[in-house]
Structure 1
Amino acid sequence: MEEETQNGNFTFHEVEENEGNLEKLKRWLNKIPKRDFFSIPLSKQAEESLVLCETLFVEFTERVYQTEGNYEGDIQIN
């Protein structure tokens, strides 16, 4: 999202792509405790990073709607 923001690439396609990437990160984060045999203390940092990613995704999505058009559910009659 950082690169797309820098390039001004605010499209619905990017929202979908980034949403898929965010879902992958969530799935991976859920797998960490099952594979963490050494109880590494970085899981809290990983959770905080995911929260930041979610916040950035919401902000990016808002920017896309501002740039591309209406919010989901809005009906525009021409």
Structure 2
Amino acid sequence: MEHITWILMTYKVPPEPAAKRVALWRRLKGMGAVYLQNGVCLLPQTEEHMRQLKMLENDAAAMGGESVLLVTTSLDKAQEDKVVRRFQEDRDDQYREFIGKCDAFEAEIAREIAKEKFTYAELEEEDNELKKLQGWVEKIRSLDFYGAPLAADASERLTSCENQLADYARRVFDANQGL
């Protein structure tokens, strides 16, 4: 049976300046890393992850800290499943936040329709908001290494937002016909 391999990074950096320590943490989280504990995180083993982690290793050293990179696997399937669940839970947290923003987007479209605010300026604003949602979900998907359960819900919600905006656009075009 083949096990998933991960890159384990442990690091210790000085507490001050806090901005540098936080920037390191954000970069790791932005790559999709899960933290097993403070200063210990995992990413799936890929060439890209290894390249990025080597750069972060240099950044930690430049801060006066230290880090170690190791390639590792789990002891057994149960441990592997635990780690995969951690990755999925992190992505589901992001998908939940995304779905909340979809709720807000759809509520905004409904308010504009209720007010009969069918202007091109408003349509452009809503189109920009939809583009942000599309980019955001793509970013989450790029970090969804193990198929988080809420991925399908997020995709459905994005499609709903796209459909709502298309309906709003039709109303804007109809209201402005002949102007």
Which TM-score band (shorter chain)?
0.7 to 0.9
Residue of structure 2 in register with 1:73 after alignment: none
- Shift of residue 33 of structure 1? 2.4
132, 137, 142: which one aligns with 1:24: 132
Equivalent residue, structure 2, for 1:10: 118
Question: AA paired with 1:12?
Answer: Y
Deviation for aligned residue 1:2 = 1.0
The residue that corresponds to 2:167 in the other structure is 59
Matched, 1:47 2:155: yes
Q: Does 1:34 align with 2:142?
A: yes
Return the offset for 1:68.
Answer: 1.3
Cα distance in 1, alignment partners of residues 173 and 141 from structure 2: 36
Task: Provide, for residues 8-61 of structure 1, a one-character-per-residue CA deviation record: whole Å limited to 9, x for no partner.
Answer: 101101110010000000000001123447753111101000101111111100
> Structure 1, unaligned stretches of length 5 or more?
71-75
* Unaligned 5+ runs, structure 2: 1-108
Moved over 3 A (4+): 34-39
- Going by fraction, where is strand more abundant, 1 or 2? 2
Q: Report the Cα distance in structure 1 between the residues aligned to 2:141 and 2:161, rounded to whole angstroms.
A: 20
Structure having the larger proportion of residues in helix? 1
> Looking at both structures, which has the greater relative contact order when contacts are Cα pairs under 8 Å and sequence separation is at least 6?
1
| Percent of residue pairs identical | 32
Structure of greater Rg = 2
Scaled by the length of structure 1, the TM-score of the pair is 0.80
Q: TM-score, normalised by structure 2?
A: 0.37
